[in-house]
Amino acid sequence: MAKLTINKEACKGCGLCVTACPKKILRVSATESNNQGYFVVEEIAPEQCIACAFCATMCPDCVITVEK
């Protein structure tokens, strides 16, 4: 059981986490944006997360917390 917490207000939607994810379970939302005006990243299949933290390692803005 793994859990990602995404600080969506700090996300800039750059998509680097999406490329880093080995399970391909992240994407930049086409509809959800934050107060900065960025479309933010979202998790599309949380149950497949393996808590490898590659997404958090790649994120320039420290918006992802990973728990297991």
Partner 1 sequence: MAVVFKKTEMLTDTPLHYCPGCTHGIAHRLVAEAIEELGLKGRVVGIAPVGCAVFAYKYFNCDMQEAAHGRAPAVATGIKLTNPDNIVFAYQGDGDLASIGMAEIVHAAARGMNITVIFINNAIYGMTGGQMAPTTLLGQKATTCPSGRDAKVNGNPIRMSEMLATLDGPSYIARCSLADVPNIKKAKKAILQAFKNQMEGKGFSFVELLSTCPTNWHMSPVKALDFVKNEMTAQYPLGVFKEVE
Tell which positions 10-39 bind partner 1, by CB under 8 A: 10, 12-16, 18-20, 38
CB of 50 to partner 1, least distance (A): 10
User: Terminal CA-to-CA distance of the chain, rounded, Å?
Assistant: 6
Smallest CA-to-CA distance from 36 within 3, 61, 54 is with 61
CB of 65 to partner 1, least distance (A): 5
- Asked whether position 48 contacts partner 1 by CB under 8 A, the answer is no
Among 24, 45, 48, 65, binds partner 1 (CB under 8 A): 65
Are 59 and 16 contacting, i.e. CB atoms less than 8 angstroms apart? Answer: yes
